[in-house]
């Protein structure tokens, strides 16, 4: 049986950040990172943006070259799935039967795109987008004048719609809910983003779900529930991910919408941690459990897990944030707006430079910024974190000439 001190399962951003955090405090402890993809840790956001449009080379996607892992003494086992985990014995079984003992393990296995099991979903030309190979397959099928149908109007759906439109394609987005971003952002903001996309040529069909894919061998049309047939050369399903929690389940760890972890990112079993998209964590700012599928959370939770694995005391403390690029709109979002009762616009929607501040009971819950500079972000994050009572200050929040730094006092 092989043995390692730190076993990092997944090999994406959360694992890499954990490895770096561990090395800050344990320079020599044996560390092994196992990933079922054949790639060193890479940056996924460009997959629906620059990389999909052919504006970025593959080498640029990798966070670190092989030499970094050699210097940091991190053994990378690529193209190999961890198939079993015995948390009692502290052993993992890798594809091919190799058994590896460990002292501390991290499960940061991310998520897999939800594949809609409808008639025709196995046809060629029906894609999802999570990996380099997915992006390359879509890129290879894309081309000027061709038609794409995108199922799902979430971040990935809209980013992909923008990239393919920018490549000269005719793009239709089908969303089953009555509007885009139904579980996210207010209707006014979502409407703004939709109009911007429409202005650039994207067609939206909302309130009408996917019924089937049709075609002989490869997809030729997407059929909707209402009976519309949308001819296409390729289709992309972007309806969310499901956390890759099978290993944790096998190991008997507590699950609930992902792997349940405490504020130190430790699972229900001592010595086993989870981070990134797969972790269902206790958000200290909002006092509730969440699973966040964004880059900043993967980075921070990986760092917290790594520090604790190396014997330090670290707790999750970030206001989770995300960004997105859709055509010429750069979006930044932080917090949790799901329960807001008030939305204040700061800036000008007409000029397409503004933030929407979401409040509940006078307290800032979240902000969503479009094309604004970043200097107010740390202040807004502090206001969210400190739960400052801003009742009666909404006029100031909406006034661009007012310096919001003063609200922190």
Ligand X SMILES: Cc1cc2nc3c(=O)[nH]c(=O)nc-3n(C[C@H](O)[C@H](O)[C@H](O)COP(=O)(O)OP(=O)(O)OC[C@H]3O[C@@H](n4cnc5c(N)ncnc54)[C@H](O)[C@@H]3O)c2cc1C
Binding site for ligand X (CB under 6 A): 9-15, 34-37, 44-45, 47-48, 81-82, 108-110, 129-130, 156, 244, 247, 276-277, 293-296, 298, 322-324
Instruction: Report the nearest approach of ligand X to the CB of residue 233 (Å).
Output: 20
- In angstroms, rounded to a whole number, what is the distance separating the alpha carbons of residues 379 and 360? 18
Q: Of the two residues 139 and 207, which places its CB atom closer to ligand X in the complex?
A: 139
The minimum distance between CB 84 and ligand X, in angstroms, equals 9
State the nearest-atom distance from the C-beta of 391 to ligand X, in Å.
31
**CA–CA distances in Å: residue 361 to residues 187, 339, 343, 364, 378:** 20, 10, 11, 8, 22
Q: Indicate the residue among 174 and 236 with the shorter CB distance to ligand X.
A: 236
How long is the chain? 409
Helix (H, G, I), strand (E, B) or coil at 87: coil
Give the residue with the Cβ less far from ligand X, 294 or 355: 294
Q: What are phi and psi of 278, to 5 degrees?
A: -85, -15
The nearest distance, CB 393 to ligand X, in angstroms, is 29
Nearer to ligand X, 15 or 148 (CB): 15
Q: Which is nearer to ligand X, 208 or 246 (CB)?
A: 246
Torsion angle defined by CA atoms of residues 324, 325, 331 and 337, in that order, rounded to the nearest 10 degrees: -30
Residue with smaller CB distance to ligand X, 323 or 377: 323
CB 91 within 8 A of CB 99: yes
Task: Give yes or no for a contact between 147 and 233, defined as CB atoms under 8 angstroms apart.
Answer: yes
Give the DSSP letter of residue 183: T
Q: How far is the CB of 43 from ligand X (least distance, A)?
A: 7
Kindly state the smallest distance separating residue 287's Cβ from ligand X, in Å.
23
Cβ proximity to ligand X: between 278 and 344 the closer is 278
Rg, the chain, Cα only: 22
CB burial of residue 282 (10 Å; 0-12, 13-18, 19+): middle
Nearer to ligand X, 82 or 307 (CB): 82
Q: Which of 222, 23, 234, 225 is nearest to 129 (CA)?
A: 234
User: Any idea which residue has 């010595």 for tokens?
Assistant: 271
Q: How far is the CB of 324 from ligand X (least distance, A)?
A: 5
Min CB(202)–ligand X separation in Å: 17
- Write b or e for each residue in 175-184: b if 16 or more Cβ atoms lie within 10 A of its Cβ, otherwise e: bbeeebbbee
- Token readout for 222 is 């997407």
């Amino acid at each position: 049986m092989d043995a390692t001190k730190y076993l990092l399962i997944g090999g994406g951003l959360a694992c890499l950040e954990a490895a770096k955090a561990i090395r800050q405090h344990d320079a020599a402890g044996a560390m092994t990172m196992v990933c079922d993809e054949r790639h060193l840790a890479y940056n996924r956001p460009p997959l629906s943006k620059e990389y999909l449009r052919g504006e970025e080379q593959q080498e640029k996607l990798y966070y670190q070259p092989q030499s970094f892992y050699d210097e940091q003494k991190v053994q990378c086992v690529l193209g190999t799935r961890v198939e079993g985990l015995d948390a009692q014995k502290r052993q993992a079984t890798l594809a091919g039967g190799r058994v590896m003992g460990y002292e501390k393990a991290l499960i940061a296995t991310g998520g897999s795109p939800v594949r809609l099991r409808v008639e025709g979903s196995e046809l060629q030309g029906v894609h999802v987008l999570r990996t380099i190979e997915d992006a390359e397959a879509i890129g290879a099928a894309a081309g000027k004048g061709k038609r794409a149908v995108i199922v799902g109007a979430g971040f990935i759906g809209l980013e992909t719609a923008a990239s393919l439109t920018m490549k000269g394609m005719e793009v239709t987005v089908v969303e089953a809910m009555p509007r885009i971003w139904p579980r996210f952002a207010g209707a006014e903001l979502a409407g703004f983003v939709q109009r911007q996309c429409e202005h650039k040529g994207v067609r939206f069909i909302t309130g009408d779900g996917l019924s089937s894919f049709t075609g002989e061998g490869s997809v030729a049309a997407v059929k909707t529930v209402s009976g519309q047939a949308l001819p296409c050369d390729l289709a992309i399903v972007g309806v969310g991910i499901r956390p890759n929690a099978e290993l944790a389940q096998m190991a008997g760890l507590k699950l609930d919408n992902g792997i349940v972890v405490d504020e130190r990112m430790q699972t229900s079993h001592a010595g086993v941690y989870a981070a990134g998209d797969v972790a269902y964590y206790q958000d200290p700012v909002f006092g509730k459990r969440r699973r966040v599928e964004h880059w900043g959370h993967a980075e921070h939770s990986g760092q917290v897990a790594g520090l604790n694995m190396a014997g330090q005391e670290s707790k999750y403390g970030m206001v989770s944030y995300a960004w997105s690029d859709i055509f010429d709109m750069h979006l930044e979002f932080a917090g949790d707006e799901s329960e807001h009762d008030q939305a204040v616009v700061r800036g000008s929607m007409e000029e397409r430079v503004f933030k929407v501040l979401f409040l509940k009971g006078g307290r800032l819950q979240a902000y969503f910024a479009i094309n604004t500079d970043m200097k107010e972000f740390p202040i807004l994050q502090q206001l969210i974190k400190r739960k400052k009572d801003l009742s009666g200050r909404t006029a100031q929040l909406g006034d661009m000439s007012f310096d919001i730094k003063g609200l922190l006092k």
